[in-house]
Structure 1
Amino acid sequence: MEYRILGETTKWVESHAEPIVDETGTVVRIAGFTHEITERKQREIELREKNERLERFASIVSHDLRNPLSVADGYLDMEREQSDSENLETVADALNRMHTLIDEMLTLAREGQEVTETKPVLLETVVRSSWNNIDQQNASLRIDTNVQIKADRIRLGQVFENLFRNAIEHGGESVTITVDMLDSEAGFYVENDGEPIPDDKKEEIFETGYTTNTEGTGFGLAIIKRIVEAHDWQIRATDAHDGGARFEITGVDFVDQHTVTSQP
């Protein structure tokens, strides 16, 4: 149990205890220990307050921006019934882009929140499920690993989906994407044989709004970074062995295969 100690300064402590029984099963005493967790609780409170601010921001974006957009969509439909002007299609494209930007901003705000629960997941299963959720075009996927890691399965799937789309967008529709484990660190990588990332852009690509595609929003890699950091992992961009782009995710917790009894 956790509780506060109030005094000149407030402290948080955590107690662990369990009953000690004799040969008849009768409880004869309680054994346990208590330790201070003030720093951890402060971090939890700060994270909770941050998440609440992000939720308020998401609600404002969703409500205050979507409502006028819905009005604009309605008037656009009315105008289309009376005219087939190319200008209306330009307006439609602009409104669709605004809808996309709102969706991406909401995702960015929410995915930056703390990951509160992780479970053992089979990496290959998440990768293949994510692959099936995207428009693969003529791209191909290579993966040969059966490791299990601790992660939020849904949000990890979003990481792979965004990395796959990014590879196809920048590497071409026939790009080959490889997912495998890192040799020197606890983690995995996603690389492709398309165009490499310029050295002076390897940090900048993770910034919100950065994109080299005129049709892109610049949120994809920023969302990936938020999800990765919410897991307490790290991500970096580097060069692939075949000259393309490579993303390495480190700090991952692996699961001992012998301790896992079921796959969620």
Structure 2
Amino acid sequence: MEDQCRVLAAAVETLDDVFYVYDADGKLAYWNARLNELFDLTDSELSGTAPTEFFVADDRAAVEAAIDEVFESGQTSVEARAETTEGVVTFELSGRLLTGDDGTVQGFSGVGRDITDRREREWHLQRQNERLTEFADLLAHDLRTPLAVTSGHLELAAKELSPERIDAARDGLERLEAIIDDMRTATREGALATEEQAVNIADVATTAWNHVETGSAVLEPPPPILVEADPKRLLRLFENIFVNAVTHGPERGERASGEDREAGTTDITVRLVPTADGFAVEDDGRGIDPDDREWVFEPGASQAADGTGFGLYIVRTIAEAHGWTVRATAAEHGGARFEFDIDADTAC
């Protein structure tokens, strides 16, 4: 019997999960070494600890309710977050009542399983489903207008054979194609970025600049910035950022004097700069009104006549798929600045 107890104790120590036993007073009586590792506490510090002491304040009420439940019904299950040596961990906690041969309650035992990754995947899936719902609502609204305009022009063109009417119809179809393309991209980017690798942002940004119509705008040679990212999605992110900068830059001659225009002064300059938390893309264009800096990331948000309204929404979606955040603010020279904060575990 003694040998069996030693084998059982050794088996419990091999678990990746936390194993615990609480006495009838709800005090910690037995545990495996995983609990010591996660909270960096000695056996003497852990002995007699109440269950709620391990978890964040917002989740303690749920843990207390679970303890009441296990003593009333014999079993329980609850999720709670704790600050550990491995960061904030979401635990799935189980509990089963322990009784003696005479039915006397002796306490309860259970297992704490780390479900942080599972909850993160579920969160991303929920976000993706929410985006799909948004697209279903936007589809009817955004596609109805260009389709109606195109149909009208084509009917007139069939009667008049007017080149102007045909060109207008072609413009409507091109806008419709752009909307559909952006919607498909946004749907794809709603999934997790699963092909991450070491990427030099400067190389991706330079390639993206060459992919878009930039006119006389200039991209300053970007410095090397290394991150772990999906290069294809990062390319799309920069393409949309650059299109936004060029599209919402100053009108021709809006800033430059006559002499500057004759000398070939560029309409806008775009810069990629490293920051303490990641990187930023800024320009010296018109900038974004402070009241609109959150709105510009919403699906369908556009102030350009030929814009689809999905460009910056896709930028935010790709950033979130990498675990990053993005915010719009003002650049040093009054233009727009988009700051990307990268999780510490993401940067190389």
TM-score over 0.5 (shorter chain): yes
279, 283, 289: which one aligns with 1:192: 283
Q: What is the DSSP-based 3-state SS (H/G/I as helix, E as strand, rest coil) of the residue aligned with 2:220?
A: strand
295, 305, 325: which one aligns with 1:204: 295
Aligned residue for 1:242? Answer: 333
Q: What is the DSSP-based 3-state SS (H/G/I as helix, E as strand, rest coil) of the residue aligned with 1:243?
A: coil
1:1-264 maps to which residues of 2 (within 5 A)? Answer: 36-45=113-122, 47-48=124-125, 83-85=160-162, 86-172=164-250, 174-182=267-275, 185-252=276-343, 253-255=346-348
Residues 244, 225 of structure 1: CA spacing in aligned structure 2 closer, same or farther, 3 A cutoff? same
Residue-by-residue CA offset, 1:205-230 (whole Å, 9 max, x unaligned): 11111111111111111110111111
Distance in 2, Cα, partners of 1:96 & 1:164: 20
Residues 41, 165 of structure 1: CA spacing in aligned structure 2 closer, same or farther, 3 A cutoff? same
Q: What is the DSSP-based 3-state SS (H/G/I as helix, E as strand, rest coil) of the residue aligned with 2:117?
A: helix
Q: How far off its partner does 1:133 sit? A: 1.0
Q: How far off its partner does 1:201 sit? A: 1.0
Letter in 1 for 2:113: E
Residues 97, 176 of structure 1: CA spacing in aligned structure 2 closer, same or farther, 3 A cutoff? same
Q: How far off its partner does 1:242 sit? A: 1.4
Higher relative contact order (CA 8 A, sep 6+): 1
Distance in 2, Cα, partners of 1:165 & 1:116: 26
Distance in 2, Cα, partners of 1:45 & 1:144: 36
Distance in 2, Cα, partners of 1:87 & 1:144: 44
C-alpha contact 1:239 1:246 (8 A) present in aligned 2: yes
Higher mean C-alpha displacement, 94-103 vs 207-216 = 94-103
Distance in 2, Cα, partners of 1:42 & 1:217: 33
Aligned residue for 1:26? Answer: none
Distance in 2, Cα, partners of 1:88 & 1:134: 26
C-alpha contact 2:154 2:166 (8 A) present in aligned 1: no
Residue-by-residue CA offset, 1:180-237 (whole Å, 9 max, x unaligned): 101xx32101111111211111111111111111111111111101111111101111
**Normalising by structure 2, what TM-score?**
0.54
Q: How far off its partner does 1:166 sit? A: 0.9
C-alpha contact 1:147 1:254 (8 A) present in aligned 2: no
C-alpha RMSD of the superposition: 3.9
C-alpha contact 1:143 1:180 (8 A) present in aligned 2: no
Higher mean C-alpha displacement, 121-130 vs 79-88 = 79-88
Aligned residue for 1:27? Answer: none
Distance in 1, Cα, partners of 2:201 & 2:123: 31
Residues 139, 187 of structure 1: CA spacing in aligned structure 2 closer, same or farther, 3 A cutoff? same
Distance in 2, Cα, partners of 1:54 & 1:206: 13
Letter in 1 for 2:249: G
Residue-by-residue CA offset, 1:41-89 (whole Å, 9 max, x unaligned): 2442554576589789999x99xxx9xx99xx99x98996774134454
C-alpha contact 1:55 1:110 (8 A) present in aligned 2: no
Q: What is the DSSP-based 3-state SS (H/G/I as helix, E as strand, rest coil) of the residue aligned with 2:236?
A: helix
Residue-by-residue CA offset, 1:76-105 (whole Å, 9 max, x unaligned): 989967741344544443333222222211
- The percent identity for this pair of structures is 31
Residues 56, 243 of structure 1: CA spacing in aligned structure 2 closer, same or farther, 3 A cutoff? closer
Larger Rg: 2
Q: Which runs of 5+ in 2 are unaligned?
A: 1-15, 17-74, 80-90, 92-110, 251-265
Q: How far off its partner does 1:134 sit? A: 1.3
C-alpha contact 1:238 1:246 (8 A) present in aligned 2: yes
Residues 248, 212 of structure 1: CA spacing in aligned structure 2 closer, same or farther, 3 A cutoff? same
C-alpha contact 2:299 2:309 (8 A) present in aligned 1: yes
